Amino acid sequence: MTEVIFGRNAVREALLAGGRVRHLLVSKSAKQGPDLLELLDLARSEGVPLHFVDKERLDRLAQHHQGVVAEVKGYRYSDVDEILGEAAARREDPLILILDNVQDPQNFGTLLRTAEAIGVHGVIIPKRRSVEITPAVERASAGAVEHLRIARVPNLPAVIEDLKRRNIWVAAVETGGTLYSEANLTGPLALVLGSEGQGVGRLVRERCDFVVSLPMRGRVSSLNVAIAGSVVLYEVLRQRGLR
């Protein structure tokens, strides 16, 4: 089955990242606005073949395609060493996002978009019971996946132990912890977010160094994982004094 990316933002970022797009399919009826013309110019500059096709062909490949679909090579996952190497190359303390069984593509994509926006060095997800990089995730992240190192690992608790041996603090975002704005989130850090229904798993939480929580004053007991994660990630950015 052909792997595709759809939506103009996601396709644009894939073209900017370079090397992944095989073909670009464009609807003959798509409006030739500035954003589409930019995509066409990017494709030509990257040597990506352009095919102008009937809208119905794109409809068969994807929903909400906005008149463009890119046929792409499979996503290449990184490993933990590459993530740490990214931090070293930037001469920054490692900042890693760990997602424990997040399964909703929209939440996953939103978290990836925030992670890329604040300069997270990489994201770690488990190989089982977790959403993968799919066209829906690509679109939800607005193409941020093309600029992030994402590692899939067989055993999250073991990876956390390895990170701690490398002097990286590991913090879970859960209820019952230190208020997130009062916790020390500077220095080498891995931030752990759990699934939408169950939160951070017991074996993962037991290996975390500490827990941070968001204040909840209303009747709702918890926030959407993408919202909670984005709030804490921006607090990390604030504490690090980055602009």
Tell whether the model's pLDDT for residue 216 goes beyond 80. no
Task: Quote the DSSP letter at residue 218.
Answer: S
Which residue among 44, 72, 100 closes a domain? 72
Residues 53 and 92 in one domain: no
Domain range for 125 is 80-240
- pLDDT tens-digit profile of 21-73? 999 999 998 888 888 999 999 999 999 999 999 999 999 988 888 899 999 98
The whole-number pLDDT of residue 243 equals 53
- pLDDT tens-digit profile of 60-78? 988 888 899 999 988 899 9
57 phi and psi, to 5 degrees?
A: -65, -40
Q: For the whole prediction, is pTM greater than 0.75?
A: yes
Which residue among 43, 72, 101 closes a domain? 72
Tokens of 84: 């740490």
Tokens of 37: 């013309």
Which CATH number covers residue 198? 3.40.1280.10
Residues 62 and 93 in one domain: no
Residues 42 and 118 in one domain: no
Among 205, 165, 171, 176, which Cα is nearest to 186's? 171
What is the widest separation between alpha-carbon atoms in the chain? 56
Distance from C-alpha of 150 to C-alpha of 82, rounded to nearest angstrom: 9
